[in-house]
């Protein structure tokens, strides 16, 4: 455990839901980012609109690590109901800031931390009269106090406030007044800055801060998606909100006002996926954002699209299950659900973005894969990626990129044909040609979820049925080297006996753990899996190591389960490393597990 | 759903429509339903309506759910794409297809089990959204493929083939549609093609969601004494109230109607639906009155038929969504992707 230092510490802010704290906390984080210092932000919030506790964590990381460390060096305790828990989570030597308008002696019960009281309510109530602005300005006042303690440039905060209220300029002055209240109080009463604080760097050039749902919505626009159907569900709602706002910006005809997009809020998830399938079948790029409960409901239609070979793109922004579970907490609990969704022999293509930048690129990839393979494709994001602002490389786009619309026969091609058969494997790649309604009389066929043969007509004949489902499996296997390839990060310290596999939002924690373990003499090669079906490299990677840790954010080691099902790898080689509390994975968790494993081996 | 190809016989003097196509060009595979099934008669009426309207078969899209009725989309318009979706979910697939390409004619075929039980939600919401499609609900009060269970449209007191008496109130698609704001609500009978074919034509030409509830007796499981969806019962209590004809633009301009006898409802394509009231006091343009009339007749055991309500003024889904004239699925990629320069500009918001 390293000590906090310059540009290397974590602030945790404990708030009450519905008090406007999230914007103030976001602003605080952005001000550090604008100082050129890498940050990680995690919003841990309840399934509630107002009143329950909520936490925001800002990790300042000069090394640019992408996860929580697991430590808390500064606690801004703004929720009296969680004081006890909040002070307990500070590590020795940490600093706690609280509103001492109402002194609370028990807060001072811990001797190994520094407690700083700021009369936030008192100062704000004296300066502002309206009840709501008193609540909101208290947030800005603690931002000011923290800025003074951490030596954050106040002009950066001012610029951010001006940008935030660009359309409501009269709010700029009172917000800056509130910042000044906290800032000046801290300067006057405390030794500023603290030993750990912010110092300007130049490590955020070329970086942005964006959440995964916004990036995925943008990716859908760049992919050329025109139809989006959805049913509101946390945490995927903001993906469709983003798509809508991007479309309003880029897809409304200036003259006629016509929309080159169609978003339908469906009556439920069953209808949402039905609309996506209808639109895709008719030649539009269509998608639905949802979460685990939505996938459960969509499963019947997913099997239909699989068997009838209709493209569909689904974003599953995973939350904690089972059932309603914890809707605002993060998990990777839908991996196996999505891999084999629906009854009968079904198998699907999955993509695992690890951050918002990959939400953007994989959104575009998903449509290409869905149309190329004429099948549902799942993009498995999660709350951590979807709803937190992450620091990632600036998104870019290659104007030469053209969408892969897959094997669709044109009117001219159909005209030249004697007869069209929907499910014949004419190219030997397991992918048949398809036709769109309204293009040519020869293109007509009857799409069905009932048993059909290669010609597309109904069948109950054994051989004809098997011919189609065997081809479907070959087709799916063909996607193994078309999904985004796994990324290997070799051990820094030379040849490694052990490997580690992770996917999705575990990436940042695993990278950091590998570095910290290397410093302690434990070398690990790291492979990040980005797609399913698995590429051959996944098996090769495991084979090349004595033991491989499979890091997952679920209880049942779901990806490991897929690996055991889909490859011949030995069960003993794959060691589950599981985190499923609902909080985003911290690097310490991974590190501690492997250290324990190392000790066990040495004592054995 | 076995299908057999139907032999195509070249009839030299067969009547041809404006496209030069014959009625045979609007047929499909051979039906595998029971002999005498009402559904086959509806299938023939649909094929005839498409023929009469001179719609190119490949420019039509047929969608259906699961059940005897849903199988029938294979039995007409062999040159149209058909989508036999999942049970009760046809409306959502039709909705997605209809917004992806507004240039085609959409016909959905469903049954009372598919629409009023498992699919009641989707059926209702497609009407609310006013999806531009004709929805033909082939209503026989019974589950045929699973051999004779009551459906949600079975009347109180109706007796099943096995002798059970239904005590649950029926869901009436017509009053349901009226209460949900549907813009074209009709009822027909598979035994009256004179009435049904023009109703289908009018429904296909209506801009928005058209519902035709067609009483279609099930000869195998619901055509016995005691059933209120049998041929005998329907013939006895069947009461046409409003006759509707679709009149194309050219003829509409020439035609003149006697006041009080016929009402002409203008359509978006310039043609009209001409309504002839068979009941002088029935007003098919007044939703509340139509609801009252249909309910009162039903209470008396009468099966009121015809175009029971029509409203051409409401926006359909495509208009509500401000969709362009050009179908979404035909836009070139360049018109959809904002490009690299725009992305670079947008990125400044996230620094």
Nearest residue to A221 (alpha-carbon basis) of A194, A203, A202, A248: A248
Check: CATH 3.40.50.920 for A487-603?
A: yes
With beta carbons less than 8 A apart as the criterion, state whether B99 and B129 touch: no
Whether A397 contacts chain B with CB within 8 A? yes
Can you tell me the distance from the alpha carbon of A522 to that of A495, in angstroms, rounded to the nearest whole number?
10
Can you tell me the distance from the alpha carbon of A504 to that of A528, in angstroms, rounded to the nearest whole number?
8
- Residue A244: count other Cβ atoms within 10 Å of its Cβ: 14
Nearest residue to B317 (alpha-carbon basis) of A278, A553, A167, A342: A278
Section B177-197 average pLDDT: 96
The CATH number linked to B315 is 3.40.50.970
- CA angle A445–A446–A448, rounded 5-degree value: 140
Whether B21 contacts chain A with CB within 8 A? no
With CB atoms and an 8 Å threshold, state whether A437 touches B97: yes
With beta carbons less than 8 A apart as the criterion, state whether B140 and B229 touch: yes
- Helices A131-150, A154-164: axis angle to 10 degrees equals 150
Using alpha carbons, list the distances in angstroms from residue A355 to A55, A316, A360, A530, B70: 21, 14, 9, 11, 45
Does residue B182 form part of some domain? Answer: yes
With CB atoms and an 8 Å threshold, state whether A278 touches B59: no
Can you tell me the distance from the alpha carbon of A524 to that of A489, in angstroms, rounded to the nearest whole number?
9
Residue with tokens 């916004």: A214
Can you tell me the distance from the alpha carbon of A165 to that of A543, in angstroms, rounded to the nearest whole number?
56
CA distance B237 to chain A (A): 37
Can you tell me the distance from the alpha carbon of A549 to that of A133, in angstroms, rounded to the nearest whole number?
50
Determine the residue of chain A that is closest to B80 in CA distance.
Answer: A444
Does residue B13 form part of some domain? Answer: no
Residue A448 sits at φ, ψ, to 5 deg, of -145, 150
Does residue B17 form part of some domain? Answer: no
Please give the pLDDT value at position B255: 54
Over residues B79-109, the pLDDT tens digits come to 999 999 999 999 999 999 999 999 999 999 9
Whether B125 contacts chain A with CB within 8 A? yes
- CA angle A263–A266–A269, rounded 5-degree value: 120
Can you tell me the distance from the alpha carbon of B122 to that of B137, in angstroms, rounded to the nearest whole number?
13
Q: What does pTM read for this prediction?
A: 0.96
pLDDT band at B256 (very low <50, low <70, confident <90, very high): low
Locate A208 and state its tokens: 């942005």
With CB atoms and an 8 Å threshold, state whether B92 touches A222: no
Determine the residue of chain A that is closest to B61 in CA distance.
Answer: A437
Section B41-63 average pLDDT: 98
With beta carbons less than 8 A apart as the criterion, state whether A308 and A375 touch: no
- CA angle A328–A332–A336, rounded 5-degree value: 130
Please give the pLDDT value at position A166: 94
Nearest CB to A209 within list B57, B336, B350: B350
Please give the pLDDT value at position B145: 85
pLDDT band at B1 (very low <50, low <70, confident <90, very high): very low
With CB atoms and an 8 Å threshold, state whether B340 touches A403: no
Does residue B100 form part of some domain? Answer: yes
Using alpha carbons, list the distances in angstroms from residue A575 to A545, A558, A570, B341: 12, 12, 11, 46
With beta carbons less than 8 A apart as the criterion, state whether A486 and A541 touch: yes
- CA angle B16–B20–B24, rounded 5-degree value: 60
Instruction: Provide the ipTM.
Output: 0.96
Name the A residues in 202-231 with CB < 8 Å from any B CB.
Answer: 207-210, 218, 221-224, 226-227, 229
Sort out which chain A residues have CB atoms less than 8 A from B103's CB and list them: 438
Q: Mean pLDDT, consecutive 10-residue segments, chain A of 604 residues?
A: 87 93 95 98 86 94 94 95 92 95 76 94 96 93 98 97 95 96 98 97 97 98 98 96 98 97 98 98 98 98 98 98 95 98 98 98 98 98 97 98 98 97 97 98 97 96 98 98 98 90 98 96 97 98 98 98 97 98 96 96 86
CA distance A440 to chain B (A): 6
Please give the pLDDT value at position A104: 76
The alpha carbon dihedral of A561, A563, A565, A570 has a sign of negative
The alpha carbon dihedral of A463, A466, A472, A474 has a sign of negative
Whether A254 contacts chain B with CB within 8 A? no
Domain residue spans in chain A? 8-204, 210-393, 411-477, 487-603
Does residue B16 form part of some domain? Answer: no
Whether B325 contacts chain A with CB within 8 A? yes
Name beta bridge partners: B265: B273
Q: Containing domain of residue B283, as a range? A: 23-350
Please give the pLDDT value at position B279: 85
Whether B84 contacts chain A with CB within 8 A? yes
With CB atoms and an 8 Å threshold, state whether A283 touches B329: yes
Helix (H) or strand (E) holding A9: strand A8-16
Please give the pLDDT value at position A552: 98
Burial of A566 (0-12, 13-18, 19+ CB in 10 A): middle
pLDDT surpassing 70 at residue B3: no
Please give the pLDDT value at position A278: 98
- CATH architecture for residues A210-393: 3-Layer(aba) Sandwich (3.40)
Cβ-proximal residues to B319 (8 Å cutoff; 6+ apart), any chain: none
Check: CATH 3.40.920.10 for A8-204?
A: yes
Nearest CB to A270 within list B73, B89, B340: B89
Establish whether domains A8-204 and A487-603 are of one fold: no
Using alpha carbons, list the distances in angstroms from residue A582 to A88, A323, A379: 20, 14, 20
Over residues B121-145, the pLDDT tens digits come to 999 999 999 999 999 999 999 998 8
pLDDT band at B232 (very low <50, low <70, confident <90, very high): very high
Sort out which chain B residues have CB atoms less than 8 A from A265's CB and list them: none
Burial of B56 (0-12, 13-18, 19+ CB in 10 A): middle
Total domain count for chain B?
Answer: 1
Q: Which residues of A348-377 are buried (b: 16+ CB within 10 A; e: fewer)?
A: bbbbbbbbbbbbbbbbbbbbbbbbbbbbbb
Q: What is the 3-state secondary structure (H, E, C) of chain B?
A: CCCECCCCCCCCCCCECCCCCEHHHHECCECCCCCCCHHHHHHHHHHHHHHHCCCCHHHEEEEECCCHHHHHHHHECCCCEEEECCCCCHHHHHHHHHHHCCCCEEEEEEEHHHHHHHCHHHHHHHHHHCCCEEEEEEECCEECCCCCEECCCCCCCCECCCCCECCCCCCCHHHHHHHCCCCEEEEEECCCHHHHHHHHHHHHHCCCEEEEEEECCCCCCCCCCCCCCCHHHHHHHEEEEEEEEEECHHHHHHCCCCCCCEEEEECCCCCEEEEEECCCCCCCCCHHHHHHHHHHHHHCCCEEEEEEEECCCCCCHHHHCCCCCCCHHHCCHHHCCCHHHHHHHHHHHHC
Count of CB pairs separated by less than 8 Å, A with B: 217
Distance of CA A465 to the CA centre of its chain: 39
Residue A345 sits at φ, ψ, to 5 deg, of -80, 100
With beta carbons less than 8 A apart as the criterion, state whether B116 and A330 touch: no
With beta carbons less than 8 A apart as the criterion, state whether A67 and A37 touch: no
Please give the pLDDT value at position B260: 53
Please give the pLDDT value at position B259: 47
Can you tell me the distance from the alpha carbon of A209 to that of B143, in angstroms, rounded to the nearest whole number?
57
Please give the pLDDT value at position B2: 52
Max CA separation in chain A (angstroms): 88
Can you tell me the distance from the alpha carbon of A546 to that of A143, in angstroms, rounded to the nearest whole number?
50
Cβ-proximal residues to B314 (8 Å cutoff; 6+ apart), any chain: B130, B181, B183, B208
């Amino acid at each position: 455990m390293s000590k906090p230092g310059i540009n290397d510490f974590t602030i945790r802010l404990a708030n009450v839901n519905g008090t406007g704290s999230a914007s103030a906390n976001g602003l605080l984080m952005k001000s550090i980012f604008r100082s050129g210092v890498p940050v990680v932000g995690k919003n841990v919030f309840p399934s509630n609109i107002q009143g329950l506790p909520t936490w925001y964590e800002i990790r300042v990381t000069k090394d640019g690590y992408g996860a929580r460390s697991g430590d808390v060096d500064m606690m801004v305790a703004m929720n009296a109901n969680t004081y006890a828990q909040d002070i307990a989570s500070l590590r020795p030597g940490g600093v706690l800031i609280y509103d001492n308008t109402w002194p609370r002696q028990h807060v001072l019960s811990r001797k190994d931390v520094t407690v700083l009281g700021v009369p936030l309510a008192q100062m704000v109530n004296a300066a502002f009269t309206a009840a709501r602005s008193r609540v909101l300005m208290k947030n800005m006042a603690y931002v000011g106090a923290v800025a003074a303690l951490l030596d954050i440039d106040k002009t950066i905060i001012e610029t951010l406030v001006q940008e935030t209220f660009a359309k409501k300029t009269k709010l700029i002055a009172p917000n800056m007044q509130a910042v000044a209240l906290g800032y000046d109080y801290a300067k006057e009463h405390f030794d500023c800055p603290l030993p750990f604080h912010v110092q300007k760097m130049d490590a955020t050039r070329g970086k942005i801060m964006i959440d995964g749902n916004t990036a995925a919505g943008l990716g859908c626009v760049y992919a050329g998606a025109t139809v989006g159907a959805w049913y509101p569900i946390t945490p995927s709602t903001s993906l469709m909100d983003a798509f809508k706002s991007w479309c309003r910006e880029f897809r409304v005809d200036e003259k006629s006002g016509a929309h080159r997009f169609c978003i339908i809020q469906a009556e439920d998830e069953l209808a949402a996926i039905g609309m996506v399938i209808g639109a895709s079948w008719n030649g539009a790029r269509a998608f639905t954002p949802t979460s685990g409960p939505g996938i459960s409901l969509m499963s019947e239609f997913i099997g239909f699209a699989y068997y009838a070979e209709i493209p569909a793109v689904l974003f599953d922004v995973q939350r904690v299950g089972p059932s309603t579970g914890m809707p605002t907490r993060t998990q990777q609990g839908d991996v196996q659900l999505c891999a084999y969704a629906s009854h009968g022999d079904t198998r699907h293509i999955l993509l695992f973005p690890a951050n918002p930048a990959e939400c953007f690129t994989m959104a575009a990839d998903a449509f290409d894969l869905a149309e190329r393979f004429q099948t549902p494709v799942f993009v498995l994001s999660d709350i951590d990626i979807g709803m937190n602002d992450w620091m990632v490389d600036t998104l870019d786009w290659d104007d030469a990129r053209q969408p892969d619309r897959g094997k669709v026969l044109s009117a001219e091609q159909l005209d030249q044909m004697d007869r069209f058969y929907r499910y014949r494997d004419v190219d030997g790649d397991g992918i048949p040609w398809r036709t769109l309604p309204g293009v040519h009389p020869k293109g007509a066929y009857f799409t069905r979820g009932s048993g059909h043969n290669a010609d597309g007509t109904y069948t109950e004949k054994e051989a004809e049925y098997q011919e189609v489902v065997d081809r479907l499996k070959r087709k799916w296997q063909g996607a193994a080297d078309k999904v985004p390839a796994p990324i290997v990060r070799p051990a820094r310290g030379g040849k490694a006996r052990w490997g580690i596999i992770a996917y999705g939002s575990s990436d940042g924690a695993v990278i950091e753990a590998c570095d910290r373990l290397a410093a302690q003499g434990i070398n690990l090669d790291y492979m990040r899996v980005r797609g399913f079906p698995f590429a051959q490299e996944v098996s090769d990677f495991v084979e090349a190591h004595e033991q491989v840790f499979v890091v997952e954010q679920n209880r049942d080691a779901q990806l490991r389960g897929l690996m055991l099902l889909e490859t011949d790898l030995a069960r003993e080689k794959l060691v589950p490393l599981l985190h499923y509390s609902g909080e985003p994975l911290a690097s310490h968790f991974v590190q501690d597990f492997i250290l324990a494993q190392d000790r066990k081996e040495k004592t054995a | 759903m076995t299908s057999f190809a139907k032999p195509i016989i070249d009839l030299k003097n067969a009547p041809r429509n404006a496209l030069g196509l014959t009625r045979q060009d609007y047929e499909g595979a051979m039906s595998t339903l029971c002999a005498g099934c009402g559904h086959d008669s509806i299938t023939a009426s649909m094929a005839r309506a498409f023929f009469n309207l001179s719609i190119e078969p490949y420019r039509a899209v047929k969608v259906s759910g699961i059940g005897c009725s849903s199988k029938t989309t294979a039995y007409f318009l062999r040159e149209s794409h058909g989508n036999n979706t999942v049970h009760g979910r046809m409306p959502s697939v039709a909705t997605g297809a209809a917004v992806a390409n507004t240039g085609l004619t959409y016909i959905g075929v469903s049954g009372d089990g598919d629409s009023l039980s498992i699919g009641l939600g989707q059926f209702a919401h497609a009407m609310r959204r006013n999806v531009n499609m004709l929805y033909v609900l082939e209503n026989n009060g019974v589950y045929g493929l699973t051999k004779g269970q009551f459906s949600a449209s079975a009347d109180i007191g109706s007796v099943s083939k096995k002798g059970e008496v239904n005590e649950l109130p029926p869901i009436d698609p017509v009053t349901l549609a009226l209460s949900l704001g549907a813009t074209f609500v009709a009822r027909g009978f598979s035994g009256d093609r004179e009435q049904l074919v023009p109703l289908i034509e009018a429904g296909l030409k209506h801009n928005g969601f058209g519902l035709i509830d067609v009483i279609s007796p099930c000869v195998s499981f619901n055509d016995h004494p005691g059933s209120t969806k049998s041929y005998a019962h329907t013939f006895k209590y069947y009461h046409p109230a409003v006759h509707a004809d679709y009149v194309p633009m050219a003829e509409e301009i020439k035609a003149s109607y006697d006041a009080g006898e016929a009402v002409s409802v203008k359509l978006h394509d310039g043609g009209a639906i001409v309504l002839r009231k068979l009941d002088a006091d029935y007003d098919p343009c007044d939703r509340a009155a139509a609801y009252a009339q249909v309910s009162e007749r039903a209470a008396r055991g009468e099966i009121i038929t015809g175009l029971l309500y029509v409203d051409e003024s409401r926006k359909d889904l495509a208009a509500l969504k401000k969709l362009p004239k050009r179908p979404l699925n035909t836009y070139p990629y360049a018109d959809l992707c904002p490009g690299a320069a725009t992305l670079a500009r947008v990125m400044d918001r996230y620094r």
